[in-house]
Amino acid sequence: MTEPITIRLLDIFRIGLGPSSSHTVGPMRAAALFRRNCLKLGLMPHRLRVELKGSLSATGRGHGTDRAVLAGLQDWDPESCDVDAFQSLTDSLAENPWIEWGDERLRLHPDDVVFLRFADYKNEILPHPNTMHCAALDEDGNQLYEETWCSIGGGFVTQAEDIDNDPWEPPAKPPRFPFGDAEELTLQARQEGCTLGEIVLANEAAWEGSPGQVAAGLDGVWKGFRDCIARGLAGAGELPGGLRLERRAGFLLREVESGKVDSSYQHIARAQAYAYAVNEENAAGGRVVTAPTNGAAGILPGVLVEAADRLKFVPDKIRGALATAGAIAMLIKTHASISGAEIGCQGEVGSATAMAAAALCELLGGTIDQVEYAAEIGIEHNLGLTCDPLKGLVQAPCIERNAMGVAKVWSAAHLALHSTGDHLITLDRVIRVMKRTGDDMKREYKETSEGGLAVAVNVPEC
C-alpha cells in the first residue's frame, strides 16, 4: 500500500477571499504565521519587509497579493475578516501606517511589501513558483529574523525547508480506510459496498473532535456556495482591474428564466450562470469557497447547486457528493498539483472539472467505476490547459473557463454513466500525466502573464 493520504476534507474546501487561493489566501496565511512566529520569539522589529518572487511577483498586483500580505501581518483571517476593510487596506495603511504588534505598535507601510523583478532573483532556484521571503529588520535594516514561505495552491502554505513534506498536520489517528491512490480508494469502496465519498467521511468521523463536526463544516461549505452565488447574481457593473469586463451572471440567468435558452440546455446554462456568479464575486475580491482553488471555484458549486435544486437532493446526498469531490482533490493534490503557478490551469479548472464530474456522476446513480471514470475524463480533456490570465487578473479567460468547465462536467458524467465503467486510462495514470505535463510546460504559461492569451491580446501589463 502507498502512504495513506491524510489531507482533511475541510482543508480542501476553505472559505476565503478572492481573487486567488494561492496568490491571496495563501500569502495572507503565510504572513500571519510569520507574525505569530516573531511574537513567539519576543521580537519587536523596527520594520518588516516581505519580498514576493515568482508568480507572486509576476501577477501579484492583479491578485491583490500585497494587500493580502499586509492583512496577514495584522493576523487577519481570510475566512472572517471584513471584506470592505480588506479592499481598502493598502490605502488605509498608506495614510496611517501603524499596526498592533503584541503590546506595542509597529510601523507597516504598503511599500514594505515588494514585488521583485525576475532579474532580481533570476539566479536563485525558487523552492516553488509562489515564493515569499519575510524578514524582521532592526533600525539599521539588519535582519533580526527571516522565513521563506511557499503558497502551494488552494490556500495551502509551507515553509521552504518543508516544501517536500506535507504542509498540514496529520491526524493523530490513522485513517479508518487508508488509501494512497485512486486504485486503493476504489478498492476500499468496493469492499465496504459504499461510495468514494463515504470512505472519506468514515475517515473524517474517526478524526473529528466531536460527532457531527465535519457534517456541520460541509453544511457551512454548502451555505458558502449558495451565499456566493446569490451575491454574484445580484452584482452589477464593471469588475475591478482595468479590463472593463461587465458582470454577466445575472443577465445569463435572466436569459434562462425568460425562455431564451433551449429547454434541452437550460440546466447547463443555469449552472453556468451560477459559475459566472461565483467567479465574478471572486474577481471582485469577495468571499468564496476554494473548490479546489479560487480561480476554479465556480465549477463545483455551479453544477451541484443547480442539480440539487432541480433534482431535490437531500443534505446527506450533498455531503456525500462534496466528500467524493474532495477525494478527487486529495488524489490530485498528493500526486500532481492544484496550483496554476506550478502546473498551469489543468491543475485548477482541470481538477475542479474532475471533482464535479465525479460528484455529479455519483448523485446521478453512477457506480464506483463510473465515478472514477468521470473524474478521469474531467482531467484527460483538460490536459495541457495553460494559466495565462490577462493583466494577472482572475477574470479573462478564467471566468468563462469555469463556465466551460460546467459543460465538460455534464459531458464527463454522461459519458461515464452510459458506459460499463471499463476504460483504458485510469484516474491514477491521468493524474501522473497531468503532473508530467505541468513539469514540461514553459513557465510563461504558468500564471506569469508572460505567454498565451496574456500577451496575445493587446492589453498593457499593469
- Beta-strand pair 104-107/113-115: unpaired
Q: Is 17 helix (H, G, I), strand (E, B) or coil?
A: strand
Q: Is the dihedral of CA 191, 196, 201, 206 positive or negative?
A: positive
- Predicted confidence at residue 311, as pLDDT, reads 98
Alpha-carbon separation of residue 173 from 115, 176, 203, 326 (angstroms): 42, 8, 9, 20
Which positions ≥6 away from 436 have C-beta within 8 Å?
none
Supply the pLDDT for residue 462.
Answer: 43
> Model-level pTM?
0.91
pLDDT at 173: 83
Tens digit of pLDDT at every position of the chain (462 positions): 689 999 999 999 999 999 999 999 999 999 999 999 999 999 999 999 999 999 999 999 988 999 999 999 999 999 999 999 999 999 999 999 999 999 999 999 999 999 999 899 989 999 999 999 999 999 999 999 999 999 998 899 999 998 877 655 667 788 999 999 999 999 999 999 999 999 999 999 999 989 999 999 999 999 999 999 999 999 999 999 999 999 999 999 999 999 999 999 999 999 999 999 999 999 999 999 999 999 999 999 999 999 999 999 999 999 999 999 999 999 999 999 999 999 999 999 999 999 999 999 999 999 999 999 999 999 999 999 999 999 989 999 999 999 999 999 999 999 999 999 899 999 999 999 999 999 999 999 999 999 999 987 654 444
pLDDT of residue 461: 47
**φ and ψ at residue 10, rounded to 5 degrees:** -80, 0
Give the cell for residue 380. Answer: 484527460
Cell of 294: 479560487
pLDDT (0 to 100) of residue 69: 98
C-beta neighbour count of 326 within 10 angstroms: 30
DSSP state of 238: B
pLDDT of residue 170: 65
Rounded CA gap, 299 and 279, in Å? 9
Helix axes 315-335, 196-207, angle to 10 degrees: 90
CA angle 292, 294, 299 (to 5 degrees): 65
pLDDT score for 457: 64
- Going by C-alpha positions, the residue among 294, 166, 291, 303 that lies closest to residue 218 is 291
pLDDT score of 169 = 64
For residue 235, which of 290, 281, 203 has the smallest C-alpha distance?
281
A 10 A CB-CB count for 26 gives: 33
- Cell numbers describing residue 147: 522565513
Whether the bond into 292 is cis, omega within 30 of 0: yes
Cα pseudo-dihedral 242, 244, 247, 248, rounded to 10: -140
CB-facing half-sphere around the CA of 305: CA atoms within 13 A: 26
Going from the C-alpha of 24 to that of each of 95, 159, 276, 311, 442, the distances in angstroms are 22, 17, 20, 35, 23
| 119 Cβ contact list (under 8 Å, min separation 6) | none
Q: Cβ neighbours of residue 301 under 8 Å, at least 6 residues apart? A: 225, 226, 228, 229, 274, 275, 278, 289, 291
Tell me which amino acid residue 386 is: T
Q: What are phi and psi of 226, to 5 degrees?
A: -65, -45
289 closest CA partner among 309, 270, 275: 275
Cell of 301: 458549486
